[in-house]
Amino acid sequence: MSAFVLLFTLFSTVSCNAAGGVLDISRARAAELLKQGDISFILAAEPAKLKELSRLGPSAPFYAGILVEAAGGGGGRDGFLFEAALDSPSARVRKEAAHKLIVQITERKDKAQAERILGRLKKIKAPDGSLGTLKAAALYVLGRGGEIPRLPGAGGPSFPSWDRALLLLAEPGRDFSAGGRPVTGDALESLREFFFYPPEKGPLGRDHQAVLRWAGEELGLGNFTLNGAVEARRIGLSAGGGPPALNRLPPADEAALAGHLALSAGAYSEALALFETAVKADRPLFFRYTGLLGDLGRAYQSVPSRRETGLKVFAEWEEAARQNPRSLGPDLSGEEVKKIRYTLLFFSGRICRSQGKNSKAADFFARALAFAPDKEQEDSCIWYLISCTLNDKPENTAALIKTYAPRWNDANTFSDLLDRLSCYLAENNKWADIREVLSRIRNGNDGATIAKYAYLTGRAVSEGYLPAGGTGAGDYFNIAYEEGAASFYYRALSAYRLGKTVTPLNGTRNGKASNGDLRMAEMEFYGDFFEYGAGGYAYAYLREEFEEFSVPELRALARVFAGTGRYLESIRITGVMMRKEAYTIERADLELYYPRAFTELIETNARNNEVRVPVFFGLVRTESGFTPDIASHAGAVGLAQLMPATAKEVAASIKRRGGPDFAADGTIDLANPEINVYLGAAYLKELSDSMGSSMLALLAYNGGPGRIRRLRRQAPSLPEDMFLETIDITETRNYGKRVLAAAAAYGYLYYGMSMEQIVADIFK
């Protein structure tokens, strides 16, 4: 048991054994119900008494609030719980509770709640950070915007934040409410910067869209349906006679603001109509704010009937920028003009690509590349350029790699395109091109892709499809073996060809991994999700801040998730940990990444069906991450991810053979692990018998037996490992590799087998 898990256990024991009740039941009973996620006793309690939950632990109200919020809010009880959480000694809990309350009070405009919050915050000396923003939100709701202090997160163009929005709408001298004088000068510029300066890098924070929507609604721009004909001077935004637009803004800004919000809400036609109105009123506005120009490009791309118009407009503007940059605006710098030209060319390419005009799109991306403002945008242009060529003229793509591979900045950006390209080249027997691509990417940092191309080149040489040319198959297999640390699959395959043994733990710890230094406050914050019944929401918080955690912290968190049966999330956390620059592989981490959950159930059913145990473990891990009740978008359910129709067919076959009747009442409970694994193993056995190959059976499990048979008939002579690379269904192609890589790891970790032995057995 790790130190912080022990801390949670002791903390819980002390809390639950203390004297006194909680919401009219014993403290022990309340703790038990909450840990199970049962909030019925909370929903039945008087809101004013909910602070009693802090008797279970000072942070318990926050986690209970998450559960109540997910259940619909409990008539505002979630707000009372988050308010109580402001008294927690945990700075992290106070921060997250404040964030919840900021969203609530700005949406609900509950003045009584705002007064209660201000009363609680008075007890905290100099509230800053999220508490300072919460105070500002409460003051705003109470109409006391002039009292809002200067907030640290409000300065400079950046992501729209609550700090910036609250100051924008309430700071003295920047009154945007209806009536009064027209908005001009600094106030207008602040409004433009807030909406039209979207960040160019980094992921959007969870507040981004919520802040934009709220600010837009406060400005009267919350409805995105045009009211009759669009007029240049005034735009009504509600067909039902709702609030008009600002009326005090210049007409172009009025339309552009509404268009920006409409676009963020997915109302593309309305957004485009508003943007076009803004263009007529003030075209230079779009050149001063290239974020707004990009919005216009996205709108044209998203409205099929207007794509040709968009191409024409952007072509005219780009030509004007080329011939006379000052025509865009007299005060634009050379760098700003360059950025405008990039935006126009890039989105012209995006529009053409959405029309299926890949060749024309590729030309636009090639031209945009010359004006790309940074390395990220350069890679974006090259990615689209290669993608369009791969869609339109795949036979030319290998030559394009030769030209552009030396120019790209992050090789991992192109791994998906190189995967598609390798499939096309293998399917069409273009082995020389595979070798050529390998030579161009050999010095990159995408080890898994290098291993793939090296292995395929080696196999082409060994099968006589490609002359050695002075470099033997073994040389290529050695490249794949050395690079294959990023890919167990290709490393195991190469080891099998070379007669080597895969030892992923060479030079690393083979025992229990150490935790190292942990930030106990953060560990406690996440551990309490499970202590108070909200474990299902912990990963959503953690996912947003992976970069902030060290390897030891991620390892400890992965153990907590695995210890509570949330194996899929534990696997994902471990994967993030393994990609950290400072990471060194350890056996204990591999056991987290390849957990042996439901051991007896999986082993028994695999053996009863003559399925290799490591392979079946690899299948279940790949299908569901050991999550019994998981369901796919396609409708597959459970540990082995069976479609209901397939499960019924397999169940009927089992019944005919004298086995149990899983559909006695007409339905099959596929969320039941015992039923699901039984049927999954039986189905894999049926496929193995009918397909005549373990490898083909795995592919058929994912892609369907009919489709795999048809593809196999098109390439009957290719060895199975090479045939797998020709399957043009990306999901199925990668599925086969993922299951085999996992099977190799399970054999190595738990069953005394070498990784190459598992692979060799499958491909016999």
Compute the Cα dihedral for 586, 590, 592, 597 and give only its sign.
negative
CB contact burial 627-643 (16+ within 10 A = b; e otherwise): bbebeeeeebbbbbbbe
Nearest to 316 by CA among 355, 348, 292, 288: 348
Answer whether residue 242 shows pLDDT above 60. Answer: no
pLDDT at 444: 87
Rg of the chain (C-alpha set): 30
Answer whether residue 426 shows pLDDT above 50. Answer: yes
pLDDT at 515: 66
Q: What is the pLDDT of residues 102-135, one digit of tens each?
A: 999 998 899 999 999 999 998 887 666 788 889 9
Q: At what angle do helices 91-108 and 520-531 cross, to 10 degrees?
A: 60
Domain 600-762 falls in which CATH fold?
Lysozyme (1.10.530)
Q: What is the pLDDT of residues 351-365, one digit of tens each?
A: 999 999 999 999 999
pLDDT at 233: 32
Q: What is the pLDDT of residues 389-398, one digit of tens each?
A: 999 999 999 9
447-471: average pLDDT: 93
pLDDT at 343: 96
Residue 610 has a CB neighbour count (10 Å cut-off) of 11
pLDDT at 2: 45
pLDDT at 248: 66
pLDDT at 414: 96
Bridge partners (DSSP) of residue 26 are 21
Instruction: For the chain, give the percent of residues with pLDDT over 90.
Output: 70
Residue 110 vs residue 232, higher pLDDT: 110
pLDDT at 469: 78
pLDDT at 251: 86
pLDDT at 510: 59
Bridge partners (DSSP) of residue 21 are 26
pLDDT at 746: 96
Bridge partners (DSSP) of residue 25 are 22
Q: What is the pLDDT of residues 654-707, one digit of tens each?
A: 999 999 999 888 899 999 999 999 999 999 999 999 999 999 999 999 999 999
Residue 515 vs residue 153, higher pLDDT: 515
Q: What is the pLDDT of residues 266-310, one digit of tens each?
A: 899 999 999 999 999 999 999 999 989 999 999 999 999 999 999
pLDDT at 11: 42
Rounded Cα distance, 299 and 277, in Å:
13
pTM over 0.85? The answer is yes
If pLDDT is split at 50, 70 and 90, which confidence band does 16 have? Answer: very low
Secondary-structure percent of the chain, ordered helix, strand, coil, rounded to 5? 65, 0, 35
pLDDT at 509: 58
The rounded mean pLDDT for the chain is: 87
CB burial class (10 A; 0-12, 13-18, 19+) of residue 418? Answer: buried
Q: Torsion angle of alpha carbons 564, 567, 570, 575, nearest 10°?
A: 170
Answer whether residue 61 shows pLDDT above 60. Answer: yes
317-322: average pLDDT: 94
pLDDT at 128: 67
pLDDT at 153: 53
Answer whether residue 76 shows pLDDT above 60. Answer: yes
If pLDDT is split at 50, 70 and 90, which confidence band does 511 have? Answer: low
pLDDT at 126: 65
426-435: average pLDDT: 96
Nearest to 529 by CA among 35, 50, 54: 35
556-579: average pLDDT: 96
Q: What is the pLDDT of residues 410-420, one digit of tens each?
A: 999 999 999 99
Asked if 257 and 278 touch (Cβ cutoff 8 Å), the reply is no
220-231: average pLDDT: 47
Answer whether residue 592 shows pLDDT above 80. Answer: yes
pLDDT at 185: 79
